[in-house]
Amino acid sequence: MVNGLRRTVKYGNTSADLNGLQLEDIERIEIVRGPMSALYGSEALAGVINIVTKKPTDEKSLQTTLVGGIVEREQRDTIIFKGAANLGRYGSSRHRASFEVKKRDEFKEDTDDPFTTLNQEDKLFLSYGGTYDISAYHWLGWNFEYYHEEDEGVSSAGNVPTFEKEERYHLDGKYHNETDLGIFDMALGFGRNDAESDRTAGTESTDYKQIELNTFFTRSFFGNHTATLGAGARRQEIEQTIYSKVPDRKVYHILVQDQWRIWDDVILVAGVRYDDYSDFGDTTNPRGALSWRPGNWFIRVGYGRGFKAPSFAEQYSSFKRASGNRVFDVIGNPDLEPEESETYEAALGYRTKKCGVEGIYHYSKIDNLISAEITDVKVSPGPVYNFVSEYMNVSKAKIDGTEFTFDARPWDFWELSASWEYLHKVDDDTGERLQDYAQNKVKLGSTLYFGKTNFHTYYRKIIDFYATAPSRELVETTYTQVDVRLGYGLFKNHELFSGIDNLFDDKSPSNWTRGGSVIDPGARYYYIGYSAEF
């Protein structure tokens, strides 16, 4: 979600394509694990990522950044040009506009191959937002976004041309009013996605429309309670050439959530959400969390139930994908049942002015887990392997995991961070490990400041990624990436920077998806850039 509202995506997928979001506008990213907040949709089965964008302010300013880069072996030439203009206050209104242009050449893992590993990219982002003050605590807001994509490549299956074309429009309005009775918020959004793709099986077109309304009323009472009442609706309609019908889904919801400050350092947040789907019926899901902050310590426990309706692609699609000598026929299932979950969470942390550490344990049980399962394999001369897979409710699943995070600034010249994530997913009926996830992830970050110079190092290691390799065997793989960046402040608000991503030129494991994939930019990547603010 972006600012609490969904975006339309090709094929009507339920999760947004992060490559289709404008980085220039992002202010911060909020993450809610599992179904822990009643304020978010019932489809928040594994959690919610809400991207909060920058808002117009009273000050006038202009920011711009230009980046040029290239992958080793003279591939993936990259130009990124982005900027934003904060136009300041005009009477009772404020305005902000931004843009981002991204152009990247194709990448071939083997330069002698006729096919592309990563497609050539041509993307354009435009946005405009504004606010109007009716009074000090009473305002209107609006936002418009435009996204254009035109990517081209060559498939490894028959060396045929492929493309991705997309135009996305989003318009929303917000209303906020604070009175003696409480705070009222309303958000209304409309989005449309017009896209065409050819991924080796002919042109597939998408016309996806969505309208969404969310309202909230928040009031404090008894001095230590803050209650929120919410209601809203959403309608989705999509025409997609690979779907067996034109789906039309309506969802209505109501919710209540209370934040009770039991003592100064103890807070209970509890809520319940009711959603009614036109194609799946209704569902009621409670959520709650209790936190305690004695001094520098904090302790939190939580529980939540979730519900995730099948996506349109999982229900109605029928399409073919090919990679090398592997062909995948994927079939939707209109009889799918929604996924349902129960999640428990416990966290313990300690924070001072200079450092913080946190440990989290979470456990989830999921019923009616949806997965694309291979139901048939045929081998033809070549050999060519034809896999037939169908979406189905395969089983019950158990998921448990542990996370540790650490951040510190022991001295003014040094910032560092570290995290470790352990995740274990198994089929509750057979005890077998589920596919397509990594069991361990390690991240390390360090930034050093020396006068006008800063040096950043980022390390990421993905361990025991379990999935099907091109050999059709289930294998575990490991991937490591190290990035470095050096910046120099020429003068106030002007920086010259350069860096190397994937410093040691590690290759992406072949089992990252059943069709094989690589991490962009695919190999060691050098870049240089300049950013300025006026």
Task: With cut-offs at 50, 70 and 90, classify the pLDDT of residue 515.
Answer: very low
Domain boundaries, the chain: 23-434
Predicted pLDDT of residue 14 = 62
* Mean pLDDT score of the chain: 90
- State pLDDT tens for residues 94-128: 999 999 999 999 988 878 878 888 889 999 999 99
* Token pair belonging to 238: 């999509």
Tokens of 326: 């592997």
Host H or E run for residue 30: strand 26-33
Whether the predicted pLDDT of 513 surpasses 60 = no
444-456 pLDDT, tens digit each: 999 999 999 999 9
Task: Tell me the pLDDT tens digit for each residue of 456-509.
Answer: 999 999 999 998 777 778 899 999 999 999 999 998 899 999 999 999 999 888
Neighbours of 74 (CB within 10 A): 9
Q: What value does the mean pLDDT take over residues 164-180? A: 96
In three-state form (DSSP H/G/I as H, E/B as E, the rest C), the secondary structure along 384-427 is EEEEEEEEEEEEEEEEEEEEEEEEEEEECCEEEEEEEEEEEEEE
Report pTM: 0.88
Per-residue pLDDT at 480? 95
Res 273 pLDDT > 50: yes
| pLDDT (0 to 100) of residue 33 | 65
Q: Which of 193, 198, 189, 242 is nearest to 20 (CA)?
A: 193
Band the pLDDT of 40: cuts 50, 70, 90: low
Question: Is residue 403 over pLDDT 50?
Answer: yes
Which homologous superfamily is 23-434 in?
A: TonB-dependent receptor, beta-barrel domain (2.40.170.20)
Q: If pLDDT is split at 50, 70 and 90, which confidence band does 31 have?
A: confident
Percent of the chain whose predicted confidence (pLDDT) is above 90: 61
CA distances from 187 to 4, 97, 472 (A): 8, 20, 47
Confidence of residue 58 (pLDDT cuts 50, 70, 90): very high
Q: How far does CA 282 lie from the centroid of its chain?
A: 26
What 3-state DSSP class applies to 102? strand
pLDDT digits (tens, 9 = 90+) for 294-312: 999 999 999 999 888 888 9
Whether the pLDDT of residue 200 is over 80: the answer is: no
Query: Which pLDDT tens digit goes with each residue over 311-344?
Result: 898 999 888 877 767 778 888 999 999 999 999 9
